[in-house]
A and B are shown apart, each in its own frame.
Chain A
Amino acid sequence: MGRYVIRRLLQFIPTVLGTMFLLHYMTSLAIQFSGNPVRALFGDRTPPPALLQAITDRLGYGDPCLEQKGNPCFGLFLDRVSGVFLHFDFGINMRRQEVTDLVANAIPFTLKLLVIAIVFEAVVGIAAGVWAGLRGGSFADNLVKISTVFVISVPIFVLGVVVREFIGVKFGNILRDQEWVPDVIAYGFFSPGFKPDYPFASLLIPGMVLGAVALATTARLTRTSIMENIRADYVRTARAKGLANKRVIGVHTLRNSLIPVITYLGVDIGSAMAGAVVTESIFNVPGIGRLVTNAARTGEAPVIIGVVTMLVLVILLVNLLVDLLYAVLDPRIRYE
């Protein structure tokens, strides 16, 4: 087990370095081909060359290799890698704020959003899946099947905007007119976006939207998996030896059925982070997703490299955890 973990951790190093280099190369190419992003700060006003040069150097875009098209800028890459790993220095953005500070400010919001999304999709998704799976072909099954297809086929940016406009604004406005509805519901939960006054309640709907697509997949995976396992020999054995139905379903069937679901949820943390880019912009959540979106728009190389590298680390760690969880769920899996 310990050796397995160490081996996995060692594999992180080339993955992270490779990602960083790709990001570094792409952002450098973007600057080489589309020009110095600092010039765009001045817009229509042509800055004096000395001023432009001073600000370009200050913001870290002064390396001459950024003017040679196609140059991979190895020198700059080494500076960045040593900055990140030796000095924990991820560079600064166009507004001269440390990338580490930006991430530190943004991460609590994204974490909250992710926890809400994952809990929502795991609890509701698995429950719906079990409900449907145990009663194949019934009304419950069809209801789950149809509603999940509906959710899966709507892209998240459409779902997000529709929820914001109709639930947050229109329905919320009706509630806000009613005296009897508590403020935390009317002004918090049904706010059309994140609201600093209600830092948790106003994140619930964005979190649910973020989790919605994965919820549908989770429900369908659980349903299929349950249907398959319920006919397995060991379940029949369990029933035959007279175990209570609760125990047969809850311990024997469900636990084995959860293996694909857990894999999916683990992988989904990665895609939920990608989804957060959209959800956070729609619901104005000041998290990592919004940070990356803005950085990509303005071409802020240090922010993109820093934040995405951190995301890669998170996804690697989560995947490792998921692999370790298999051993917990399935006694046949052993890591040596």
Chain B
Amino acid sequence: MRGKFLKVAVAATATAMLATACGGGGDDSDDAGGGEAGGTLRVYATEPAFLLPSNANDEPSIYVIRQLYRGLVKYNAETSETEMDLAESIESDDKKLWTIKLKDGYTFDNGEPVNADSFIRSWNYAAYGPNAQNNAYFMKRIAGVDDVTAKDPDGDGPEEAPAPKAETMSGLKKVDDLTFTVELKAPFTGFPTTVGYSGFFPMAQACVDDIDACNETPIGNGPYKIDGEWEHEVEINLARSDTWKGEPGKPDAINYRIFADVDSGYAAFQAGELDVMYTLPPARFKDAKANYGDRLFEQPGDSFNYVGMPMYNENFQDKRIRQAFSLSIDRQSIVNAVFDGRYAPATGFVAPIFEGAREGVCTYCEKDLEKAKQLLAEAGGWKGGKLVLWANAGSGHEDWLQAVGDQVKAALGIDYELKVNLQFPEYLEKADNNQFTGPFRLGWGPDYPYLETYLSPLYTTGASSNNSTFSNTEFDNLIKQGDSADTIDEAITLYQQAEDILAEEMPVVPMFWRKEAAIYSENVDTFVWNQVAGADYGATSLK
């Protein structure tokens, strides 16, 4: 009896296995065998956090959103200049009250028109405090933004935050269907460049009405629409949208394959399963360069790595100490030794690819031991004891920071220790609360392609990410004048003067710019990399 039981069990499992095997195989008979029939661009992706313009502030999400949605302006792929996209014009006399006129005839995938309301709705939704949207941060310049977020009366305490004073920002006013005005808190000449960020893209009424559904199956207004649903952790398929009136996307469809780690993505690329990888596993960089030399795209990027100076600490208040610190570092040798050349040494505070960036602004960013020693001596020597160098744990910052420490020790004779055991959240809380006891590593990426993004959030007095607590009236004034300059060119001149002050004061020590590296397969005819937005899948054509 029992013998039979086992036999039956085995037979049943075997049959089940066979059945599933056949089912699994049968589904795929119509597939072109992993080929590229029909012009499907298969790209590497990681799981997006959100597919809502108001909530997505991470790279993988924005890579999808930029194909699904379009905004007022777009950026030129090569020059990163701002070009009108859905906007007819964005104008202002005083740089404070902006009038935005939209082009007629654009619609969302569900047929709703892309009008003034769709932008006002989206921006208000993002800014409204109780919606807890990540991109609320980007609405900070618009007048009335403070009234739509409520202050918690007792910090983190048990008391519930009251409802905000207003539900919409007073600075957004509709004039007619295709015109609206935006009033800023303070003049800002660069406003038109900022609205190309995906957080400023429009949203349909149907989207805001059922925000969770819209996150899963976005209602876009761009050249592509979602094909099916967002298959979490597996893939996202986009198909060309027939409601899009602008220049159509090149591939018929885009297939985002979602990978948990970049190494397995690279293996899939090697096996011919992917057409584009917008990033590479650091350890495989040399391998990729050797194997895909002509299909490896490389260019200096815009993510800034710096060592901040805790100017709230008395030992770092003398600028000559900060200058000496910077002068004792040989950036190129660290790049070569630690990063295999995947970074470029920084010689200024603004990304080299940005309009208005100047090579060699930071005269203290070249190694000069004599001068370093002399400056330190003039400042009366180092009195801070052991120099503590801070970085967050687990992100590979230890190596280069140690190299920095060694170089400073060799040049200035200051002994150092590394403090690299804090997890990222705790580390950032330390940064927010000004609790670093020595130089700290941090980074910065631009919010929009306008050099102001590298200056005011980091160095104006009391700015949100001014972790050095740098405060300089002249700098603040120059930024303010730049913000309200008549033209972009005038503004850039003023911002450059502000950057000169940084180069003298050295509130942070610029270290490196990360280089972007992407690879594409033999199926790709022309690969397009947008200076601002990264790999542009819609513009990339297949053979």
Contact = CB atoms under 8 A, between A and B. Distances in A.
Interface of A: 33-51, 53-58, 62, 64, 67, 94-97, 102, 105-106, 112, 115, 119, 161, 164-165, 168-169, 172-173, 176, 183-184, 186-188, 191-193, 195-201, 251, 255, 280-284, 286, 290-291, 293-294, 299, 328-329, 331
Contacts of A40: 424-425, 428
A44 B431 CA distance: 9
Given A37-B425, A102-B232, 10 more contacts: A50-B150, A51-B136, A186-B33, A191-B271, A192-B273, A198-B25, A281-B261, A286-B233, A290-B260, A328-B5
Contact of B34 (A50, A112, A183): A183
A290 B268 contact: no
B172 to A, nearest CB: 19
6 contacts: A35-B427, A49-B151, A57-B132, A164-B267, A284-B268, A329-B2
Interface stretch (B156-164, B484-492, B530-538): B156-164
A44 B49 contact: no
A64 B157 CA distance: 6
Given A62-B156, A94-B49, A196 B234 contact: yes
A201 B3 contact: no
Interface residues of B, number: 72
A34 B156 contact: no
B264 interface: yes
Contacts of B445: 44
B13 interface: yes
Contacts of A164: 264, 267
B20 A54 contact: no
A95 B137 CA distance: 17
Interface in B491-532: none
Given A46-B464, A51-B132, A284 B260 contact: yes
A119 B157 CA distance: 54
B233 A290 contact: yes
B235 interface: yes
B271 A184 contact: no
Contact of A169 (B24, B149, B267): B267
B271 A172 contact: yes
B21 interface: yes
Interface of B: 2-3, 5-6, 13, 17, 20-21, 23-25, 27-28, 31, 33-34, 49-50, 57, 129-130, 132, 134, 136-137, 140, 149-152, 155-158, 161, 231-235, 257-261, 263-265, 267-268, 270-273, 422-429, 431-432, 442-445, 457, 464-465, 467
Helix, strand, loop or mixed for chain A's interface?
A: helix
A74 to B, nearest CB: 16
B461 to A, nearest CB: 14
Nearest to A62: B156
Contact of B260 (A33, A55, A251, A294): A294
Given A50-B161, A183-B33, A200-B24, A44 B444 contact: yes
Contacts of B156: 53, 56, 62, 64, 67
A329 to B, nearest CB: 7
A313 B432 CA distance: 42
Contacts of B431: 46
A193 B273 CA distance: 10
Given A46-B464, A67-B156, A200-B24, A51 B444 contact: no
Contacts of B152: 49-50, 53
A55 B31 CA distance: 43
A275 to B, nearest CB: 16
A51 B33 contact: no
The 4 closest A-B pairs by CB, nearest first: A200-B24, A35-B426, A35-B425, A286-B233
Contacts of A119: 13, 17
Contacts of B17: 115, 119
Contacts of A183: 28, 31, 33-34
Contacts of B33: 183, 186-187
A328 B140 CA distance: 70
Nearest to B464: A46
Contact of B264 (A58, A199, A283): A283
Nearest to B49: A95
A124 to B, nearest CB: 13
Contacts of B3: 251, 255
B151 A50 contact: yes
A195 B155 CA distance: 47
B158 to A, nearest CB: 6
Contacts of A255: 2-3, 6
B13 to A, nearest CB: 6
A48 B443 contact: no
A50 B23 contact: no
Contact of B137 (A42, A96, A184): A42
A45 B260 contact: no
B272 A35 contact: no
A36 B425 contact: yes
B11 to A, nearest CB: 12
B24 A173 contact: no
B132 A41 contact: no
Contacts of B265: 284
